[in-house]
Amino acid sequence: RLTGQQQEINNLIQRKIAVDEENARLKNDFSNLNQKFKDKSQELKDTEERAQKKEEQNRLVIKNLEEENKGLNTCCADLLNDLEKLRKQEAQWKTEKSGNDARIKNLETDLAEAREQVKELRSICSNLSSQVAVKQEELSQKDCDVIRAKKELQELQNLYRQNVEHTVQQAELIKQLQALNTD
């Protein structure tokens, strides 16, 4: 009898485990569906907000275009007035143009003279450049001479140092010889 009850308890435990697993799966499914619902709700909200913003932007664009159109109409009227003024100015400028043409002729003459001066100055510059090149050559030669002189000085200093060393050695030898001589 105990074994039957034990079997029944085991069966009930197995059913409870199966029910718990099913329950967990259903909870998980519910959680996933709930998340999808939240995502879709947010997506719908975002879409509605975007649509509303777009509508507001369109209203603003239409308003701006209407204002721009008004401005353009005013601008057209102003331009027509300006055109009339410009036509009057054109007649005046034609009169002034003949005076300007004479001035231009004078300026062209001045320009020709200036070009002549520039040509002369270029010639002078060319001569000076040649002189500079000669001087640079001389300077380069002097640099070579200085380098040669420095080498010679270095050699003389080396010789002097060797002489001093020899003199010291000779003095040492003389001392030794005197000591030997004394002995």
So where are the chain's domains?
5-145
pLDDT value of position 109: 94
Helix ranges, the chain (H): 2-182
Token output for 140? 């380069």
Cα separation of 116 and 140, whole Å?
A: 36
Report yes or no on whether pTM surpasses 0.75: no
pLDDT means per 10 residues, the chain with 183 residues, are 83 95 97 97 96 96 96 94 94 88 92 95 94 95 95 96 96 94 88
Cα separation of 129 and 122, whole Å?
A: 10
Measured CA angle at 102 (ends 101, 104), to 5 deg: 65
Cα separation of 31 and 61, whole Å?
A: 44
pLDDT value of position 6: 87
pLDDT value of position 98: 84
pLDDT value of position 2: 67
Burial class from Cβ neighbours inside 10 Å (0-12, 13-18, 19+) for residue 100 reads exposed
pLDDT value of position 4: 81
pLDDT value of position 1: 62
